Structure 1
Amino acid sequence: MRGLIITDLRAAFVGDPAARNFPEILIGYPGMTALIHHRLAHILHQLGARLIASLVAEIAHTRTGIDVHPGASIGSGFFIDHGTGVVIGETAVIGHNVRIYQAVTVGARHFPTDGEGNLIKGDARHPIVEDGVVIYAGATILGRITIGRGSTIGGNVWVTHDVPSNSIVTQATARSKQG
């Protein structure tokens, strides 16, 4: 866990021009606080201590406004910049060296039910975000889709389909005026 946290600290330092030193990030960045709690909660979740894992996650949520389910799998070098309003669902898989900004949702698109109308628990329903992806503020990524390696998801974009590697997804494209 310590090694993962060090990669996360480095990602924050390299990814944020305002970051001056590691202690500042470690004690002053809400994304780092949430991630430290998540790393512990995820281990507890994997060990079957789901109630305790949920309590640890909720402590981070209350302190930071960042809601990461303990079941979410997050690779090394993860950086949440600013962070308020971030939601990452239970079955999300986030690769290495991923950066996200405030108000990003990595969530489920729908909740399947069985023949009696009861929610089906445990199915993979959240996105897979591959290595080196950047997701800007306000983006909503829903369903068991894949955001390909090296892609950039622009701010306030709603994504419900796979995105190929090295893509840029934006709401609109600026064009020069003619004539």
Structure 2
Amino acid sequence: MNGIKTDLHDVKKRLEAVTERLTLIKVDSPLTDHINRYPLPSKSNVIAILNDIFEVIFPGYYSEKEITDLNIKGHISNKINCIYEKIVEEIKKSFMQEHVHDSSVCEICSVSEQKAVVSSLKLLEYIETLQDLVAKDVKAAFDGDPAARNFSEIIFSYPCILTITIHRIAHFLYKTGVPFIPRIMSEYAHSLTGIDIHPGATIGEYFFIDHGTGVVIGETCEIGDNVKLYQGVTLGALSFPKDDGGKVIKGLKRHPKIEDNVTIYAGATILGGETVIGKNSIIGGNVWITNSVAEDSRVIIDVSSSNVTFTKKKT
């Protein structure tokens, strides 16, 4: 190699030394915290499960074969059974993480498997309701985007439908207490579309995100029906209360509530768990809001003074 003589014995010794150093468990490091623990859920398997669920929710759109009246029942049956077999195993792994300090492996496996069966069946039984919700999201996208030509274009190409559908799956698992997997799902959607929705966020019917890139929706955010967001909107936390030890207090309401029929334009930032955007309001682009807004309001930046103005919409 470029005239440099390679001493294979020296290379081997150096590689062994690297291995020895990397094998030493760093007790205080989060990077080695999962040694001697039960296996984590497989990210690739969770993504495969999402792909299978999409084939059931959108029959004919994500399938490699043609779906007809004659074969749809068999196709759905095969997919449902396939999803069940995969997701039971991954949810079981998730629940096992809650028992890392327990000693009875057999008991942990048994309890985790029972919980996984219950959670998996609940999710599969929820898919019919999920289809109805997603159909309303597709209609909201069609009604809200004058460039949309048909439902097929929206289902197959709009990033918001991909993200919102994954969110509704993840949110259901989150609400049923399944650890790990909801966040894997939401971050997978985030990586694909640039839309970051925490699985804990509650979102109503007919939800539409136009363009989508840069949208952030926090864990305790509540969004009503017929809400429309544009790119770059943040529904986030204003501050993080801490305990006497200086650690962030978990589980508090940190994110805003957006009531029905609200439109929020690009780049708007709305923060705080006590902030409520009243129904039928329009929030202009690039505004910063940390206080509640009355219903039927219009909030815009006054360009002449750089102040934010609050006015009632004309009825």
Shorter-chain TM-score range = over 0.9
- The residue matched to 1:119 in structure 2 has which SS? coil
Partner of residue 280 from structure 2, selected from 143, 150, 154: 150
The letter for the 2-side match of 1:41 is A
Q: Any residues of structure 2 matched to 1:87-126 within 5 Å, and which? A: 87-126=216-255
Within 5 A, what are the aligned runs for 1:3-14? 3-14=132-143
What is the alpha-carbon distance in structure 2 between the residues aligned to residue 116 and residue 155 of structure 1? 39
Cα RMSD between the aligned structures? 0.9
Superimposed CA distance per residue, residues 118-172 of structure 1 (whole angstroms, 9 cap, x where no aligned partner): 1110100100000000000000000021000000000000010000000000011
Match of 1:140 among 269, 274, 277: 269
Secondary structure at 1:150 match in 2: coil
Structure 2 partner of 1:177: none
TM-score (norm 1): 0.95
Equivalent position SS for 1:50: coil
Q: Distance in 2 between matches of 1:56 and 1:78?
A: 19
Whole-angstrom distance in 1 between the partners of 2:213 and 2:159: 8
Q: 2:152 & 2:169 partners in 1: Cα distance? A: 20
Note the C-alpha offset of 1:173.
Answer: 5.9
Q: Deviations over 1:37-67 (max 9, x none)?
A: 1000000101111310000001100000000
TM-score, structure 2 normalization: 0.55
**Which of 139, 157, 165 is the matching residue for 1:28?**
157
In 2, Cα distance between the equivalents of 1:84 and 1:100?
11
Count of aligned positions:
174
**Distance in 1, Cα, partners of 2:133 & 2:174:** 17
Consecutive aligned runs of 4 or more in structure 1 exceeding 3 Å deviation? none
Secondary structure of the residue aligned to 1:169 is strand
Task: Confirm or deny that 1:167 pairs with 2:297.
Answer: yes
Structure 1 unmatched runs, 5+ = 175-179
SS of equivalent residue, structure 2 residue 247: coil
For residues 48 and 95 of structure 1, what CA distance do their matches in structure 2 show? 23
Structure-1 separation of matches of 2:255 and 2:156? 30
Alpha-carbon distance in structure 1 between the residues aligned to 2:150 and 2:188:
25
- The code of the aligned residue for 2:299 comes to V
Matched residue type, 1:19: A
SS at match of 1:32: helix
Higher relative contact order (CA 8 A, sep 6+): 1
1:53 maps to 182
Relative to its length, the structure with more helix (as a share) is: 2
Distance in 2 (CA, whole Å) between partners of 1:112 and 1:2 is 38
Q: 2:49 matched to which residue of 1?
A: none
For residue 29 of structure 2, what is the aligned residue in structure 1? none
Asked whether 1:86 is paired with 2:215, we answer yes
Cα shift readout 1:77-126 (whole Å, capped 9, x = no counterpart): 00000000000000000000000000000000000001111111010010
2:193 corresponds to: 64
The whole-number CA distance in structure 1 between the counterparts of 2:178 and 2:239 is 27
Between structures 1 and 2, the one with greater strand share: 1
| Structure with the greater alpha carbon radius of gyration | 2
Gaps of 5+ in 2: 1-129, 305-315
